[in-house]
């Protein structure tokens, strides 16, 4: 009964969001009206966790989900970072190989339109992280195994990136072209991932390198995730 009583409230929220979205797409609306509509729609979507299926009734099927391999490879720990990034684009990730080796293959999973947008950004991130870690290794003077440094750097980077992206949503600091992007991975993509991807838990026996974590966290906070020009002709 409690769940049934909450449904009308959610439906009311969905109707309000749809009206705001319609206003944001109205060519006769002023710039201020459009920005205000976008801001309010996103506030409601985040607060009530409204997903794509709620707004657009796009149920889809497992056949609509695709998996694309990234060109660049790297240390398997980079998967932690990609997992944070992919969710920003409504996608999931997977990897093949050993998590502490430098030849892991990475995959982006999602609906075709989301994967097409996510992959170029993910490629850039893998290249950045792989290059950064190789440069650091050349001048590394720490006392512990560099594998520990790579693990904790990637863990810190993932945390910093997550904080940065969450803050951008809270502040609505997104480009207008993407401000009505769906918050959250579509249910059909989650279902595909649960059925097709074998999730592995890292059982690291290594100690923690606090300095590596802090450096990675700072770099994650500062990394520029540019999704503004990827769909331009």
pTM of the model: 0.71
Q: Does residue 169 sit in the same domain as residue 210?
A: yes
Q: Does residue 191 sit in the same domain as residue 147?
A: yes
Whether 168 is in a domain gets the answer yes
Whether 181 is in a domain gets the answer yes
Instruction: Render pLDDT for 191-229 as a digit per residue (tens, 0 to 9).
Output: 888 888 876 665 656 678 899 999 999 999 999 886 433
Q: Is 181 within 8 Å of 21 (Cβ atoms)?
A: no
Whether 56 is in a domain gets the answer no
Q: Does residue 45 sit in the same domain as residue 85?
A: no
Residue 26 domain boundaries: 2-50
Whether 204 is in a domain gets the answer yes
Nearest one of 64, 49, 42, 37 to 9, comparing CA atoms: 49
Strand partners, 93: 108
Whether 57 is in a domain gets the answer no
Instruction: Render pLDDT for 24-55 as a digit per residue (tens, 0 to 9).
Output: 777 777 777 777 878 888 888 887 777 766 77
Q: Does residue 112 sit in the same domain as residue 132?
A: yes
Whether 233 is in a domain gets the answer no
């Amino acid at each position: 009964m409690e769940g049934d009583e909450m449904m009308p409230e959610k439906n009311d929220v969905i109707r309000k969001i749809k009206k705001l979205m319609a206003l944001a797409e109205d060519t006769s609306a002023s710039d201020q009206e459009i920005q205000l509509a976008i801001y309010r729609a996103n506030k409601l979507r985040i607060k009530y966790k409204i997903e794509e299926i709620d707004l657009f009734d796009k149920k889809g099927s497992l056949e609509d989900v695709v998996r694309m391999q990234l060109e660049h490879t790297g240390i398997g720990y980079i998967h932690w970072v990609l997992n944070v990034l992919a969710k920003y684009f409504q996608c999931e990730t997977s990897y093949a190989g050993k998590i502490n080796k430098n030849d892991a293959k990475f995959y982006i999973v999602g609906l075709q339109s989301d994967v097409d947008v996510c992959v170029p950004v993910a490629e850039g991130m893998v290249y950045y992280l792989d290059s950064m870690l190789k440069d650091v290794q050349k001048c590394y003077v720490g006392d512990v195994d560099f594998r520990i440094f790579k693990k904790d750097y990637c863990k810190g980077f993932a945390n910093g990136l997550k904080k940065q992206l969450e803050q951008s949503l809270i502040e609505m600091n997104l480009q207008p072209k993407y401000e009505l992007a769906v918050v959250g991975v579509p249910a059909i993509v989650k279902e595909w991932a649960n059925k097709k991807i074998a999730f592995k838990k890292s059982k690291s026996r290594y100690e923690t390198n606090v300095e590596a974590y802090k450096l990675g966290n700072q770099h994650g906070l500062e990394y520029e995730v540019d999704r503004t020009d990827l769909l331009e002709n």
